[in-house]
Amino acid sequence: MSLLWEVLERSQTGPLMKEEDFETEFFPSKIKEIVKEHGIKYDPEEVLMTDASMADEIFDAGLELLLEVGLYNKDTKRIVKFTEEEIKGLLATRRRELVLGEGRDQITLRPRKPEDKDPPKTFLPAGILTSNIELYKAYVLSAAKEPVADGLIALPLQGIGDLKPTSETPSETLLGLTEGFTLREAAIRVGRPGMYLGIPMSVSSAKAVMGSFHPAGYTKYNCMCPVHIIQDMRIDYDRLNLAFFAQQNGINPWISSCPTMYAYIGGPEEAAVEGIAHVLGMMAYSGGSFAQAMSATVQGRYEGRDVFWANSAQALAAERNIKVPWISYGGGVTGQQATDVSFYAIAATVITNTISGMEGMWLTGGVPGIEGRWGGEVARAAAGINVSDGVEIVKELLAKYEDKAKVGLPNEKLILEKYDMKTLTPKKEYVELYSKMKKELQDMGLDYEAW
């Protein structure tokens, strides 16, 4: 069940509004009003949101936000509205499990709860921001060979050697195909040809996303089709085209939300509420039974106590009221790989997600592969621990790194400096840092059978 055709019709007949008015006045004032009415408050001393009653308020507020504000179609300048009966009817038909991958490499995202002993699935970041294809392949393979990789998520390929792609042209489609071929080749090389490979990440236009699917690369079995909202509560015809493409080809729609705090919305309370509204809206036009929901700050941070609170709040609200496989960002501080800051931040993010009951994490850990390994192992170590114990560990980790965290881009040549490129294994100093971090987490009360 989806409301795709209703959304298309309402995109042409709904109330007209200037996008500037929607963006700067209507939407921001409504979300602030709704958050206040529901009494949702963030406490910086509580890095996770664990209150079940507040989680229900967050869900109710998110539903109210969608019903009151609707989705703004940027192409038609009209607002798409829904009824409560439509959204609740949609939720009643969602699948509770999701199968990804193919053959012996197939995995299933199943419901988890806080303190669940089964660990969340960990999808490791593969690649690096570069146009150097051989370097990109090395990063992808360093992730694919890690045993904790339940799947891979590409980092955007920026070009193909000297070819710099142009949006909505064949060169952009070629970029998406190259990304898919590279991940598939790595999966075959490590003996896991049916491994789940995420979504096309190097392309942005709907034409190129659809063109990235190919029998030798991304397929309906190993890849999902992104249909997600790009800006606050806003869609366009490309979102609907992608949703229709996914439906017609039997591809699971990738529903993804990333509210940006301290821009048009305020802090984590508003991020959590908007995230729920986004997911419900995307489910309406795509018919999907899955969500990737995270938060970020306008400064470019994807971790930290305010982000952790917002992400855990959305996850608990969804677990109790939406009940579909729910994943979030599983990485740390970008740009500080091969440092203790990176390892601490990855551990804090992963523990937050694991004890919040999420079913999986995308971009778990970091690049190259050893930092993805770290994220996957921490998830397995944290599965089943008491929430209160996990919260204390996250607080201890924050105290070790949060004042040292700096937002930046990963060093493209890091793998050349820290890995033996003949064997594609981390060098001694990198392994020593990883071992040091394992010992620190063991001292904090976490352990994994492989450590």
pLDDT, position 224: 98
Q: Going by C-beta distance under 8 Å and a sequence separation of 6 or more, which residues neighbour residue 425?
A: 419
The letter for the amino acid at 190 is V
Q: Which of 272, 287, 289 is nearest to 239 (CA)?
A: 287
Quick: pLDDT tens for 184-230.
999 999 999 999 999 999 999 999 999 999 999 999 999 999 999 98
The conformation of residue 39, written as its DSSP 8-state character, comes to T
Using an 8 Å Cβ cutoff, are 122 and 95 in contact? Answer: no
Using an 8 Å Cβ cutoff, are 107 and 151 in contact? Answer: yes
Total residue length of the chain: 451
Using an 8 Å Cβ cutoff, are 197 and 150 in contact? Answer: no
Using an 8 Å Cβ cutoff, are 194 and 103 in contact? Answer: yes
Using an 8 Å Cβ cutoff, are 298 and 407 in contact? Answer: no
Q: Following CA atoms 301, 302, 308, 310 in sequence, which dihedral angle do they give, to the nearest 10 degrees? A: 90
Q: Which residues, listed in sequence order, are joined to residue 328 by a DSSP beta bridge?
A: 361
Spans of the chain below 70 pLDDT: none
Q: Is residue 435 within a helix (H) or strand (E), and if so which, with residue range?
A: helix 428-444
Using an 8 Å Cβ cutoff, are 334 and 410 in contact? Answer: yes
Q: Which of 365, 345, 353, 210 is nearest to 294 (CA)?
A: 353
Q: Which of 4, 69, 1 is nearest to 285 (CA)?
A: 4
3-state SS class at 391: helix
CA distance 227 to 209: 10
CA angle at residue 181 from 180 to 183, to 5 degrees? 65
pLDDT, position 1: 74
Bin 173: left if φ > 0, else alpha if -120 < ψ < 50, else beta.
Answer: alpha
Domains present along the chain, CATH in parentheses = 98-444 (3.20.20.460)
Quick: pLDDT tens for 395-424.
999 999 999 999 888 899 999 999 999 999
